[in-house]
Amino acid sequence: MKSYLSYLECTYCHQTYDAEIPQRLCNDCGKVLYSRYDIDNAKKNFSIGDLSGRAPNMWRYFEMLPVLNVANVVTLGEGFTPIFDAPRLGGRLGYRVLNIKDEGLNPTASFKARGLSAAVSKAKELGIKKLTMPSAGNAAGAMSSYAAKAGLEAHIFMPKDAPDSNKIEVDITGGNLTLIDGLISDAGIISREKAAQMDLFDVSTLQEPYRVEGKKTMGYEIAEQLDWDLPDVIIYPTGGGTGIVGMWKAFQEMEDLGWISNKRPKMFAVQSENCAPIVRAFELDQEFADPWENAKTLASGIRVPSAIGDYLILNSLRESEGGAITVSDEEILAMMRVVGSLEGLFLCPEGAATAVAAQHLLQSGILSEDEKVLLLNTGTGLKYLDMIK
Ligand X SMILES: Cc1ncc(COP(=O)(O)O)c(C=O)c1O
Interacting residues toward ligand X by CB under 6 A: 110, 112, 136-139, 205, 237-243, 301-302, 348, 350, 378-379
What does 13 bind: Zn ion, ligand X, none (CB cut-off 5 to 8 Å by kind)? Zn ion
Integer Cα distance of 113 and 147 in angstroms:
11
- Is 15 or 75 the residue whose CB approaches Zn ion more closely? 15
- Between 175 and 379, CB nearer to ligand X: 379
**For ligand X, the closer CB: 240 or 277:** 240
CB of 207 to ligand X, least distance (A): 12
Residues that bind Zn ion (CB under 5 A): 10, 12-13, 15, 26, 28-29, 31
Query: Is the Cα dihedral 316, 318, 323, 326 positive or negative?
Result: positive
CB 72 within 8 A of CB 80: no
**Interacting partner of 28 out of ligand X, Zn ion, none (Cβ under 5 to 8 A depending on kind):** Zn ion
Residue 26 touches which of Zn ion, ligand X, none (Cβ within 5-8 Å per kind): Zn ion
d(CA 48, CA 257): 9
Find the shortest distance in angstroms from Cβ 317 to Zn ion.
22
- CA–CA distance from 178 to each of 44, 186, 327, 387 (Å)? 48, 12, 30, 20
348 binds, among Zn ion, ligand X, none (CB under 5 to 8 A by kind): ligand X
The DSSP output letter for 48 is G
Q: Which is nearer to ligand X, 42 or 250 (CB)?
A: 250
d(CA 62, CA 338): 38
Q: How far is the CB of 189 from ligand X (least distance, A)?
A: 18
Residue type, 180: I
| Residue placing its CB nearer to Zn ion in the complex, 12 or 84 | 12
CB-neighbour burial class of residue 249 (10 A; exposed 0-12, middle 13-18, buried 19+): buried
